[in-house]
Chains A and B, each alone.
Chain A
Amino acid sequence: MKSYRRPVPNTLWLSRRPYILFIIRELTAVFVGAYCVLLLFFIYKLGKGLEAYQGMLDALKSPLSIILHLIALAFAIYHSVTWFNLTPKIMVLQIGEERVPAFLIAGANFAAWLGLSVILAWVIIGV
């Protein structure tokens, strides 16, 4: 007897909330990647001389650029948080018969993130 294969809609990724959240996580990579390109561009401008670099800094102060920065920041945070929450699945530590609890492993990542952010903030604002 013939079996029936249900068609898979093109909108499969939008069919359930967890899939949508996953796709957003994947999309964040575009923003993170774009920001890396921007940082490279900084170095390029710096190589062109102080004036070119200053011009770029001024351009970045425009409202449009600030809005884009906020969007990129939101995506970067979403990316980091969802990714750190997944780390206990990948890094499994077992001591004797017991597993190190997931919250400790994710927590260590969050702590490292916080620590590095504080150091960065200190470098940028502090000096």
Chain B
Amino acid sequence: MEETIELEIFRYRPDQEDRPTFQTYEIPFRKDWVVLDAINYIKDQIDGTLSYRWSCRMGVCGSCGMMVNGVPKLTCATFLKDYYPDKIRVEPLAGFPVERDLVIVMDDFIHKLKEIKPWIIRREGEEKPIEEGEYLQSPAELAEYKQYSMCINCMLCYAACPVYALDNTFVGPAAIALAQRYNMDSRDQGREQREEIIASNEGIWECTFVGECSVACPKSVDPAGAIQRAKVGSTIDWYKDLLMPWGGKKR
């Protein structure tokens, strides 16, 4: 007898129903299959109406994130054998509105990414003319922020964050880590501009340091660490302002 495994999948078809349901599919169990393979099998062989996002199948594109048994995972990197013989429950990423089945609405996240100005900002008059070439950077300076530049925008960290689930205005882990990535870049001078968002009420101070974003992150970005370091930075700013109101804020 062929071994099988059951997948219980979140379904939401806004054209047919007002609220979501769960649908169970029984599929062949293969040791080398990941959850995404199983979902692809369902789509190809059993039920073509199932909607979900995926692309690279190798943990690079960041589009296949889903809740697997309540935990945010890249489904292309989550093996069936780690759950077999138990049933696996697959849901869209927590904390986001659902567009259809396993597809979430990510507008809020995209907006937040843009909001923190994720590009190199130079102070007025300090931009080098193109003929003078690139801004140089040492390997040690690169190492300062490299970790935060590894983000693939998979949003698993948001799905892991109870604060974001309760209050969607929170800027959230990946966006703050990305701000930190530029703030710590030796070529960048835009920290003060980003602080408007980062140090606002919806920014770093919403974070209670649950730390699950860093556990969920498949790229070891450690957004929780980035947020705490940003808190330290903002606190130092605040004291500097208090003690030296005439300046000293420039970085």
User: Which residues of A are in contact with B by a Cβ distance under 8 Å?
Assistant: 1-6, 8, 12-13, 15-16, 18-19, 22, 26, 86, 88-90, 92, 94, 96-99
Contact = CB atoms under 8 A, between A and B. Distances in A.
Contacts of A88: 225
Nearest to A16: B70
A29 B241 CA distance: 30
Interface residues of B, number: 34
Interface of B: 12, 14-15, 19-20, 70-71, 94, 97-100, 105, 139-140, 142-144, 162, 165-166, 208-212, 214-215, 222, 224-225, 228-229, 232
Question: Which label, helix, strand, loop or mixed, suits the secondary structure of the A interface?
Answer: mixed
Contacts of B140: 94, 96-97
Nearest to A3: B97
30 contacts: A1-B15, A1-B99, A1-B100, A2-B14, A3-B99, A4-B14, A4-B19, A4-B20, A4-B97, A5-B98, A6-B94, A12-B162, A12-B166, A13-B162, A15-B70, A16-B70, A16-B71, A18-B210, A18-B215, A19-B162, A19-B210, A19-B212, A26-B208, A86-B211, A89-B211, A89-B228, A92-B229, A96-B140, A97-B139, A97-B143
Contacts of B139: 97
Nearest to A90: B228
Contacts of A13: 162
Going nearest first, the 7 A-B pairs with the smallest beta carbon separation are: A89-B225, A3-B97, A90-B228, A97-B143, A4-B98, A1-B14, A22-B210
A8 B97 contact: no
Nearest to B226: A89
Nearest to B168: A5
Contacts of B229: 89-90, 92
Given A4-B19, A6-B98, A12-B165, 8 more contacts: A2-B14, A3-B14, A13-B162, A15-B70, A22-B210, A89-B222, A96-B140, A97-B140
A3 B144 CA distance: 40
B171 to A, nearest CB: 18
A96 to B, nearest CB: 5
A50 B12 CA distance: 72
A83 to B, nearest CB: 10
A5 B214 CA distance: 25
Contacts of B15: 1
